A and B are shown apart, each in its own frame.
Chain A
Amino acid sequence: AQSVTQPDIHITVSEGASLELRCNYSYGATPYLFWYVQSPGQGLQLLLKYFSGDTLVQGIKGFEAEFKRSQSSFNLRKPSVHWSDAAEYFCAVVPPGSGYSTLTFGKGTMLLVSP
């Protein structure tokens, strides 16, 4: 079945440590790829997106993501996590042939930052 998977429901990282959140997709063709962040009580904010081209994408707040076609992955990374990064992170795709009007989301990964 076509889907987007975030294998980790929760991740705890020490402040200052590096972070990698995993995202895998299962589609016949490469979808458009996004990472969003949601803080408690807030809507979603776009961190970065990948449509084509350079497979390493830079986003806001010091985040980056790497698209790996061979692994059907689009993992989010940050070299040094700050306490304010604690939030829920969603990987999302625009499925190929969907008419470019829908986002399909993963289940999300809750990031906890320890002092």
Chain B
Amino acid sequence: KAGVTQTPRYLIKTRGQQVTLSCSPISGHRSVSWYQQTPGQGLQFLFEYFSETQRNKGNFPGRFSGRQFSNSRSEMNVSTLELGDSALYLCASSLSGVGGSKGEQFFGPGTRLTVL
């Protein structure tokens, strides 16, 4: 079974630009979550989508948005990039959410975003 895939793996952008990151969950998984990982703040939850609906959202500005498609693939978008948005963005998928019967989120390798 293929794991969670994220594209692209690396991105370099400049301040003010926007970026879209993609995540393909494990087949059959309906929940996709996004996390931001930085050396200073650690791992922080961005949002979670389940069956194309945003089910939960972390404490991030509105510049961060996402969506989920009918095939459960998800994208996140960051508009008006700031230097502080440089981070590893991790996507995780699960059958029905991290507290569901299986209780496990499978993480992708991440997209490394650098904002210059």
Interface residues of A (CB under 8 A from B): 32, 36, 41-46, 49, 51, 90, 92, 94, 98-108
Contact yes or no, A43 B98, CB < 8 A:
no
Which residues of A have CB within 8 Å of B44? 105
Q: Interface residue count for B (Cβ, 8 Å)? A: 27
Contact of A43 with B42 in the complex, beta carbons under 8 Å: no
B45 interface contact, C-beta 8 A: yes
A32 touches B107 (CB 8 A): no
Contact bitstring B92-114, A, C-beta under 8 A = 1, else 0: 10000111100111111110000
Flag if B109 contacts A42 (CB, 8 Å). yes
Is the pair A101, B55 in contact by a Cβ cutoff of 8 Å?
Answer: yes
Mostly, the B contact residues are strand
B56 and A99 contact, CB distance less than 8 A: yes
**Nearest chain A CB to B56 CB, angstrom units:** 4
A102 contact set on B, CB distance < 8 A: 33, 45, 48, 56, 58, 98
Bound together, the chains give a CA A104 to CA B45 distance in angstroms of 7
Give, as a whole number of angstroms, the nearest-CB distance from B8 to chain A: 15
The 13 listed contacts between A and B (C-beta, < 8 Å) are A32-B98, A43-B4, A98-B56, A99-B97, A100-B98, A100-B100, A102-B33, A102-B48, A102-B98, A103-B43, A103-B105, A104-B45, A105-B42
Q: Is the CB of A46 within 8 A of B42?
A: no
Q: Considering only CB atoms, which chain A residue lies closest to B3 in the complex?
A: A43
Alpha-carbon separation in the docked complex, A42 to B4 (Å) = 12
A90 close to B58 (CB less than 8 A):
no
| Neighbouring B residues of A90 by C-beta, 8 Å | 43
